[in-house]
């Protein structure tokens, strides 16, 4: 019984460390984004996604940075992944619309803007 308790404690510790690393990468990404260092911020959001690939905020932020860097196809992939995980985020729909416009996909952009508006943006 003692070994099981010890193993459980180690699993709980590993989970906390992993969560802290994820949060640290996100915070660093936000700081770099705020200072205009979009490429470095993008790397930080990618590092966060290596830890938690199912976080819609990290995908959204990665998409925003890719959009800032004019990497529209990559931005669209990231933003669509964010929507897969959280389809109720109006901001993401609005950003998808912007990227669709840049890619010349105006009909799809219009639908995304309509969805963003329905969600309260």
Whole-number pLDDT of residue 14: 52
> Which 8-state DSSP code applies to residue 105?
-
Residuewise pLDDT in 10s, the chain (121 residues)? 566 776 566 556 555 656 678 888 899 999 999 999 999 999 999 999 989 999 999 999 999 999 999 999 999 999 999 999 999 999 999 999 999 999 999 999 999 999 999 999 8
Q: Which of 102, 101, 104 is nearest to 112 (CA)?
A: 101
Contacts of 80 (CB under 8 A, 6+ apart): 96
Q: How many domains does the chain have?
A: 1
Domain span holding position 86? 2-118
| Residue linked to tokens 């992939």 | 77
- pLDDT at residue 18, rounded to an integer: 62
Domain containing residue 74: CATH number: 1.25.40.10
């Amino acid at each position: 019984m003692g070994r099981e308790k010890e193993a459980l404690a180690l699993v709980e510790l590993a989970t906390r460390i992993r969560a802290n690393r994820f949060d640290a990468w996100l915070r660093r990404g936000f700081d770099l984004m705020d200072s205009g260092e979009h490429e470095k911020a993008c790397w930080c959001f990618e590092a966060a996604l290596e830890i938690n690939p199912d976080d819609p905020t990290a995908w959204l932020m990665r998409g925003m940075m890719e959009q800032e860097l004019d990497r529209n196809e990559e931005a669209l992939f990231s933003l669509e992944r964010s929507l897969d995980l959280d389809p109720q985020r109006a901001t993401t729909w609005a950003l998808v619309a912007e990227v669709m416009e840049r890619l010349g996909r105006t009909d799809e952009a219009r639908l995304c803007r309509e969805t963003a508006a329905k969600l309260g943006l």
